Amino acid sequence: MLNYEVTTQDDGIEKNFCQPMEKLNPQPMSKDLTEVFFKLMLAKDDALDLKEMRKENWLFEAVEKRIEHCLTFTADNRSMFFVTCVSGSIGKCVMYMYYMQYIAKKENIKHIDFNVFGEKFFPMGFFSDSDLKKMWDGQKVNCYVDGKRKGSSDNLLDYGAAMKSLIF
C-alpha cells in the first residue's frame, strides 16, 4: 500500500502506476474481442449511435466523462467503446484511461482515433485480468496518517494532484 504523501506528488501516478503498467506484457485479444475490434475498425465513428451506446453500456458514459473532466487527451467513440469492452468494470476502465494519458503524453498525441488506439497504444494486445488486479492493488493508498483519515479515496488514480506530470 502506498503512503498518502504520494497523492500530493506531481508524478505520483506516473511513477507508481503508469511506469509499472508499461512493463507488463499485454496479451493477444480473444476471438470475441478481435471480432468486435474489426467491426469497430470498419465502422465510421460519426455513424455510431451514441445514445444507444450509453444506454446499453453505462461504462461508455463513465469513460466519456472521465476523459472530458480529468484527462487532457480526446478519443473517438470507437476507442472509448473498445476500452469498455476490454475492461468490463469501472476500475479497469480508469486504469486503461490513465495508462492512455501516459502514452498520449509520451507520444504527444492529443487525439486518439481508433487507428492510433490500435497502432500506438495497444499494438500487442491488452493486459490480463491478473495483471490488472495487481495494478489495482498496487495503486491503493493508505488514507490514514497518524490515525486520522486524510483522503477521500484509497485509489491513487482519484487524485488529480498526483497526475500533474501527465498533463500536456
Residue with cell 484511461: 97
Which residues face 27 on adjacent strands?
Answer: 126
DSSP state, residue 165: G
Return the C-alpha cell found at 151: 483522503
pTM of this structure: 0.93
Question: What is the tens place of the pLDDT at every residue in 55-112?
Answer: 888 999 999 999 999 999 999 999 999 999 999 999 999 999 999 999 999 999 999 9
Find the domain containing 134 and state its range: 4-166
Burial label, 15 (beta-carbon count in 10 A; 0-12, 13-18, 19+) = middle
